[in-house]
Structure 1
Amino acid sequence: MFVYALVAFAAAARWNVPVNVRLYSQGFLLFGSVVTVILFAVISTRVMLERPQRLFPALRDRLVANELPNRLIIGLPVALVLPVFFSLFTSMKGGLSRIVPFYADSTIMAIDRTIHGGVDAWKILHPLLEYGPVTFVLNFFYNLWFAEMVIILFCVTFSTSNERLRSQYLVAFVLTWALLGNVAASIFASVGPAFVMPFYGDATFSPLMDYLQTTDTTYPVWALKAQGNLLADAALDGPRSGSGISAFPSLHVAVATLNAIYLWRFGGLLRWAGIAFLIVIQLGAVHLAWHYGIDGYASMLATPVIWAVAGWLSKAQRGQNRLQVENPSPL
């Protein structure tokens, strides 16, 4: 995160990108407070149901047994810098067009059609998904993406069961956002199907947008409002919460892939829930006009590589820490 911050501030100074490091401070504080209250309520309820002779000592012992002190020691430093990281990311994403003007959509569309037999990906899916209830459900889960991401992120942040796995996930998380969400998004600067008309005057995806707008009269399609907000924010100066337009690669699919990789090792329901959620996010990304099909494919290919690199970095760091313990420095 420190390296990312240095690079972000340097890029912001070079291309005059407005930066606000406090975009998500209140949101994360609110989320952390709500999660803390819920967890404490759950633990307290379980202790009270056991009817201990002395409630508060029993509650204290349960918190200690759950390694609360250790969880706070290792988790709080990460949790406190996450709002700054996300604020920097949004600031840089909002300023990508200052670094590289949007240019790649026509090329990405051509490649996407080639992959899908000469037609746009949404047209292949449309006969299966062009039903109001289906569109609504896809939009619901697409919006649920943020909650899934934050819940897993916080669970890992405060996890004490597997130090190396925790390190690998957190490093992979930061690299995914930085490399795919900022670097790759700058190299392949594109706006996505929902925005090719306002940015390029290209009506290729007008039939899909017309379907979504028609469906919105019966079943709410929240993606349309979000896309309108992004378009409005793009005309303003400075970052705002959730602002920034970028299509290739899909960060939604990348994070869903990362979480599917992480949940796979737990087996059972969590394993298949992660895979199912990834599939739904990919379908929603295309059907709701956020992304070309290839945006998600690229993320699904790149994220496992980032996961492997993060594993190597975590292994190397753990080996270095072990060496320092076995051969402590005289300092």
Structure 2
Amino acid sequence: MKAAEFRSFWLSWRANRAFFFVFFFYILAVASASAFWRIAVDLQIYSDAFLLFGLGVTVILFAGISLRVMLERPPHLFPALWDRLLANRLPERLIVGLPVALALPLFFSLFTSMKGGISRIVPFYADSALITIDRAIHGGWDAWQILHPLLGTGPLTFALNFLYNLWFIVMLVILFCVTFSVGNGRLRSQYLVAFVLIWALLGNVGATVFASVGPAFVMPFYGDDTFSPLMNYLRATNANYPVWALNAQGMLLANAALDGPRLGSGISAFPSLHVAVATLNAIYFGRFGGLLRGAGIMFLIAIQLGAVHLAWHYAVDGYASILATPVIWICAGWLSDLPRQPVTADVAG
């Protein structure tokens, strides 16, 4: 191995060792659970989706950099563009980021396979207890009933649904930026390790231990009409303002009747991964302060409100995620033993 190749390998390993340490144990856990409970695992569910997303983000970034260079009107465009890429540490970003980027489709495919297999491990049972706990916290009311006088209008429902769907793009963009960041090695490692632990511990283990379907599905799964007024409101609103949550919930219900994992399949309520990831991002952005900190907190609040108002979750699902995520963040910090470096103001590194 040449010196340059060895240096690249060492740089990549040093930056990603904590991530791959956790990922390796996740693979072993999924393999064991799959074999024991005979859960179907598809390793390529997200391969095409991540390829398209990666290509799209790459094209947008390079187009933006190229436009900035062209506006400066250098005498020689391509040498100037190459110099700009080197100034932004592109080779180092690729060395550090590509191994993680290539592993992420596999990680999400394993996660979705396990999420879809929850009912093979334990039947859904916890909704009644979660409804009782939720009401105890909120003075005998379901959380959506408290929020409905504030949020129960078409425009607000549409806005919350838009933000709730935007969560997927926000999550992937931030994950992409952190993956290819080089400004603060330990903070990057802590985020990536926490990201994996959140999905594994909360999205797989927690969702299995507290197997539940959420307000939108208590009727089809249990024959319980507790949340029928909320679902009726959402359907009535959908006649004038698009409520995409209804389509997504219908797709999940249809997939639940089929064998094998599919893109975006699997039903679980407690705890809320949407809220957990939004909490993780709020913690991460809090390191940079100012506008980013405020944006992270406001987005977290919107996701928690949308999760309840759109019948995806009980409020307690989000509360549990908000409490558990900082603990996972701290544990991820212990696992990320890269030397501490000053936090810079560059979110992308």
Question: TM-score, normalised on structure 1?
Answer: 0.95
**How far has the Cα of 1:120 moved from its partner?**
0.5
1:187 to 192, 209, 225: 209
Pair 1:17 & 2:46 matched: no
**Quick one: which amino acid aligns to residue 114 of structure 1?**
A
125-134 vs 50-59, which moves further: 50-59
- Please state whether the residue corresponding to 2:336 is helix, strand or coil: helix
User: Take 1:268 and 1:205, find their aligned partners in 2: how far apart are those partners?
Assistant: 39
Q: Are 1:200 and 2:212 an aligned pair?
A: no
- 1:204 aligned partner, one-letter code: T
SS, match of residue 231 in structure 1: helix
Equivalent in the alignment of 1:130: 152
- C-alpha distance in structure 2 between counterparts of 1:16 and 1:284, whole Å: 35
Q: How big is the shift at 1:116?
A: 0.3
Equivalent of residue 164 in structure 2, options 142, 155, 158: 142
Shift in Å, 1:318: 4.7
Q: In the aligned structure 1, how far is the partner of 2:228 from the partner of 2:79?
A: 64
Q: Using the alignment, how far apart are the partners of 2:260 and 2:272 within structure 1?
A: 23
Instruction: Give the corresponding residue for 1:323.
Output: none
3-state DSSP class of the match of 1:241?
coil
Q: Deviations over 1:37-68 (max 9, x none)?
A: 11111111111111111111111111001000
Q: Which residue of 1 is the match for residue 60 of structure 2?
A: 38
CA distance in 2, matches of 1:114, 1:138: 26
CA distance in 2: counterparts of 1:95 and 1:136, whole angstroms = 32
**Which residue is equivalent to 1:282?**
304
Q: How far off its partner does 1:251 sit?
A: 0.3
Q: Show the 5 A alignment for 1:95-110.
A: 95-110=117-132
Deviation at 1:312, TM superposition (A): 1.2
Name the aligned partner's letter for residue 243 of structure 2. V
Q: Deviation per CA, 1:113-154: give whole Å up to 9, x if none.
A: 000001110000001011000000000000000000000000
Moved more, 260-269 or 200-209: 260-269
Q: Take 1:92 and 1:190, find their aligned partners in 2: how far apart are those partners?
A: 15
Gaps of 5+ in 1: 320-331
| 1:273 partner letter | A
Task: Rate the CA distance shift 1:15–1:318 in 2: closer, same or farther, 3 A.
Answer: farther
Distance 1:74 1:154 in 2: 12
Equivalence map 1:60-75=2 (5 Å): 60-75=82-97
Match of 2:264 among 239, 242, 248: 242
RMSD of aligned Cα (Å): 0.9
CA shift, 1:225, in A, is: 0.6
Q: Which residue of 1 aligns with 2:11?
A: none
Q: 5 Å matches for 1:39-58?
A: 39-58=61-80
Q: Distance in 1 between matches of 2:190 and 2:326?
A: 12
Distance 2:339 2:296 in 1: 28
Q: Deviation at 1:269?
A: 1.4
Alignment match, 2:334: 312
The percentage of aligned residue pairs carrying the same residue is 75
Deviation of 1:14 after TM superposition, in Å, equals 0.7
Name the amino acid aligned to 1:193. Answer: P
Question: Could you list the per-position Cα deviations for residues 12-46 of structure 1 after superposition, in whole angstroms to 9, with x for gaps in the alignment?
Answer: 11111111010010111011111111111111111
**Deviation for aligned residue 1:310:** 0.5
Moved over 2 A (4+): none
**Which of 187, 190, 193 in structure 2 is aligned with 1:171?**
193
Count of aligned residue pairs for this structure pair: 318
1:295 aligns with 2:317: yes
Structure 1 distance, partners of 2:317, 2:203, is 12
Question: 3-state SS of the aligned residue for 2:316?
Answer: helix
Structure 1 residue aligned with 2:347: none
TM-score by length of 2: 0.90
Task: Give CA-to-partner distance per residue, 1:161-203, whole Å, 9 cap, x none.
Answer: 0000000000000000000000010000000000000000001
* Between 55-64 and 154-163, the greater mean CA deviation after superposition: 55-64
| Equivalent residue, structure 1, for 2:233 | 211
In 2, the alpha carbon distance for the partners of 1:288 and 1:42 equals: 36
Alignment-derived partner of residue 226 in structure 1: 248
Report the Cα offset of residue 5 of structure 1.
Answer: 1.0
Residue type of the alignment partner of 1:108: L
> 1:268 maps to which residue?
290
User: Which consecutive unaligned segments of at least 5 residues does structure 2 have?
Assistant: 1-22, 341-349
